[in-house]
Structure 1
Amino acid sequence: MGTRAWTALVIGIAGYEAYCIRSERQDELLSRVLDRARAKHPVANVAILATIAATSLHLARAVPSRFDVFALLHIA
């Protein structure tokens, strides 16, 4: 089930990005939309960066579970 979820995420994101590039909607690429949100809302910028960092550390298993935000929230 997890493998299917990762596959769906990768295909969905890659497909969306390819669609944006092919239809000349580069301003709708996920990274550019995120850049606009971060620039427009300073508080959102901090929250977005913290979420990216926490998710990356969790997926890389780079922190002990006692410091893993997902484990602390009982999400993982």
Structure 2
Amino acid sequence: MAPPQKSDQEVAAEFTSYYLQRATTEFAEDLDKVRAADDFKNDALRILVGALQQGTAMFSPEEQRRIVTAAARTDTKP
């Protein structure tokens, strides 16, 4: 039996988490350089995270659902 389909809000939340995880992995060195800068303040972290989150807007709800579904399949493989 197939699991119940997730709501658009659930998919969007999972996609945002997945997207941020991938972005921070891909840009880890660059993000470390930004965080190490002399003028980087703690409140800048919120701005940085918000800027990264805006990247999710490039993906339609259908694309987000497809990516979340594919990622879930990959995560459950032995």
State the TM-score, normalized to the length of structure 1.
Answer: 0.32
Alignment TM-score, normalising by the size of structure 2: 0.31
Q: Which has the higher contact order (CA 8 A, sep 6+)?
A: 2
